């Protein structure tokens, strides 16, 4: 199938497929006589795997590692487990940071909602911050 068809099947754009090829996530596609890339069902399965990886918040470099292992004939499952562990820890870390920031901002917001503009000293730019 041609690139547009494969892209549609995977829910991506043709740009993305060429980008993935350039980035080493897809092997260089076979070409038809006219020079067009020619994809198979396997290509679409690979694209769908990439999609699942992205949906889990993995970076393309990590997905590339997994694909590299599989292409080397090794089962990447243990590595995927590690990546998922790290991803979970990263997410917890990011969530904790955002919650800390949220509480700072909530405090400022509460002060701003209860305060009066009149007390604002120009030298301080804005007393609510």
Partner DNA sequence: CTCAACCTTCCCCTACACTGGAATGTCAAG
Partner DNA sequence: CTTGACATTCCAGTGTAGGGGAAGGTTGAG
Compute φ and ψ for 82, nearest 5 degrees: -60, -45
Binding residue (CB under 8 A) for a second copy from 5, 11, 23, 77: 77
Q: If binding is defined by CB under 8 A, does position 10 make contact with a second copy?
A: no
Residue 89: contacted member of DNA, a second copy, none (CB under 5 to 8 Å, by partner type): none
Rounded Cα distance, 59 and 53, in Å? 8
Contact letters (x/-) for a second copy, 80-99, by CB under 8 A?
A: xx--xx-xx--xx-xx--xx
Residue 55: contacted member of DNA, a second copy, none (CB under 5 to 8 Å, by partner type): a second copy
Nearest-approach distance from CB 45 to a second copy, in angstroms:
6
Q: If binding is defined by CB under 8 A, does position 76 make contact with a second copy?
A: yes
* For DNA, the closer CB: 34 or 116: 34
Q: What angle do CA 60, 6, 45 make, to 5 degrees?
A: 60
The residues binding DNA (CB under 7 A) are: 2-5, 13-16, 18-19, 29, 33-37, 54, 59-61
């Amino acid at each position: 199938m041609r690139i547009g068809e494969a892209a549609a099947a995977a829910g991506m754009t043709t740009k993305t497929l060429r980008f993935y090829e350039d980035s080493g996530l897809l092997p260089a596609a076979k070409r038809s006589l006219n020079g067009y890339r020619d994809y198979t069902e396997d290509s679409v399965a690979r694209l769908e795997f990439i999609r699942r990886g992205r949906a889990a918040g993995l970076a393309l470099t990590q997905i590339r590692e997994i694909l590299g292992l599989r292409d080397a004939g090794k089962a990447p499952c243990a590595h995927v487990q590690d990546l998922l562990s790290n991803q979970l820890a990263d997410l917890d870390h990011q969530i904790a940071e955002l919650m800390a920031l949220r509480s700072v901002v909530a405090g400022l917001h509460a002060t701003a909602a209860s305060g009066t503009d009149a007390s604002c000293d120009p030298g301080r730019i804005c007393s609510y911050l």
